[in-house]
């Protein structure tokens, strides 16, 4: 981004259990850092505005979002809780709750997660250890607008670990021309391209080099 802050300021830290998130406030065209202090049941949240270099504490979150990575979308930061999505509006700096898609009431084999596909916020989850499902929110913030985007069998993706009770961590990255879905499978160090029309699968192995 070629953007640098003059300073990060000073804020009191009562615990070492904190995590920082990064997002863009499109209402004032600036970047913000969100620091979540998870010392209590309700997380303390502070926001740093790169425009004025000041940390401000906002109202407590209704839940602890420390373990989730957070997802930036349309001027909001979003975290996945057990039964809902916590969304922080970076413009007005308040958070709201959004319900998960109806029918998601089973215990999945792997943790569900959020994704951005086709310019929509998506909810991805395992179903009964046999299928991977992607649901998208057609209108952001409107829980009634959840719709199923994809339901694919692990067998069609040539993934069989789930049968041996081994979790599969599958993440969708992109949908090309509304036909091909690009996944990453970090358990197998592979990129998977799945064609929804003919169930054709292509796999490419990748490696991550650590530099110290």
Q: How confident is the model at residue 182 (pLDDT cuts 50, 70, 90)?
A: very high
Residue 20: the pLDDT is 83
Pick the most confident of 50-54, 96-100, 133-137: 133-137
Tokens 């009431």 map to which residue? 105
Q: How many CB atoms lie within 10 A of CB 115?
A: 18
Q: How confident is the model at residue 149 (pLDDT cuts 50, 70, 90)?
A: very high
Sequence-separated contacts (24+) of 80-83 with Cβ below 8 Å = 80/112, 80/113, 80/114, 80/123
Q: Has residue 97 got a pLDDT over 80?
A: yes
Residue 166: the pLDDT is 59
Judge whether 109 and 115 are in contact, CB under 8 Å.
no
Q: Has residue 211 got a pLDDT over 60?
A: no
9-24 per-position pLDDT tens digit = 565 555 567 788 888 9
Q: What letters, b where the CB count within 10 A reaches 16 and e where it falls short, cover 41-80?
A: eebbbbbbbbeeeebeeeeebebbbeebebbbbebbbbbb
188-199 per-position pLDDT tens digit = 678 899 998 888
In order, the DSSP letters of 32-83 are: EEEEEE-SSSSPEEEEEETTTTEEEEEPPPSS--TTS--EEETTEEEEE-SS
Residue 212: the pLDDT is 46
Q: Can you tell me the distance from the alpha carbon of 4 to that of 2, in angstroms, rounded to the nearest whole number?
A: 7
Residue 57: the pLDDT is 84
Residue 69: the pLDDT is 73
Does residue 104 sit in helix, strand or coil?
coil
Q: Can you tell me the distance from the alpha carbon of 194 to that of 156, in angstroms, rounded to the nearest whole number?
A: 9
- Work out the burial of residue 105: count CB atoms within 10 Å of its CB; fewer than 13 is exposed, 13-18 middle, 19 or more buried: exposed
Q: What is the pTM of this model?
A: 0.81
Structural tokens at position 124: 């991805």
Tokens 């021309």 map to which residue? 177
Q: Can you tell me the distance from the alpha carbon of 170 to that of 194, in angstroms, rounded to the nearest whole number?
A: 12
Residue 45: the pLDDT is 83
Residue 16: the pLDDT is 61
Q: Which residue has the higher pLDDT, 168 or 29?
A: 29
Structural tokens at position 35: 């620091």
Q: Has residue 123 got a pLDDT over 90?
A: yes
Average pLDDT (139-167) is: 82
What is the chain's mean pLDDT, rounded? 80
Domain ranges of the chain: 13-99, 101-212
Tokens 């920082």 map to which residue? 20
Q: Has residue 5 got a pLDDT over 70?
A: no
Does residue 140 sit in helix, strand or coil?
coil
Average pLDDT (173-200) is: 87
Average pLDDT (116-125) is: 92
Closest by CA position to 33, among listed 23, 42, 43: 23
């Amino acid at each position: 981004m070629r953007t640098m802050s003059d300073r990060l300021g000073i804020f009191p830290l009562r615990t070492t259990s904190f995590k920082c998130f990064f997002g863009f406030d499109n209402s004032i065209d600036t970047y913000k850092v969100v620091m979540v202090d998870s010392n209590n049941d309700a997380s303390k949240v502070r926001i740093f505005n790169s425009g004025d270099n000041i940390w401000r504490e906002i109202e407590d979150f209704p839940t602890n979002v420390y373990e989730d990575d957070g997802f930036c979308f349309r001027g909001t930061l979003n975290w996945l809780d057990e039964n809902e999505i916590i969304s922080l509006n970076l413009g007005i700096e308040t958070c709201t709750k959004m319900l998960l898609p109806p029918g998601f009431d089973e215990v999945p084999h792997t943790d569900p997660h959020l994704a951005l596909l086709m310019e929509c916020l998506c909810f991805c989850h395992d179903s009964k250890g046999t299928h991977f499902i992607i649901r998208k929110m057609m209108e952001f913030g409107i829980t009634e607008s959840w719709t199923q985007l994809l339901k694919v069998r692990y067998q069609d993706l040539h993934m069989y670990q789930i049968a041996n009770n081994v979790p599969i961590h599958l993440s969708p990255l992109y949908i090309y021309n509304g036909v091909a879905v690009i996944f990453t499978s970090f358990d197998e160090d592979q990129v998977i391209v799945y064609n929804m029309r003919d169930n054709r699968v292509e796999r490419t192995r990748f490696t991550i080099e650590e530099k110290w």
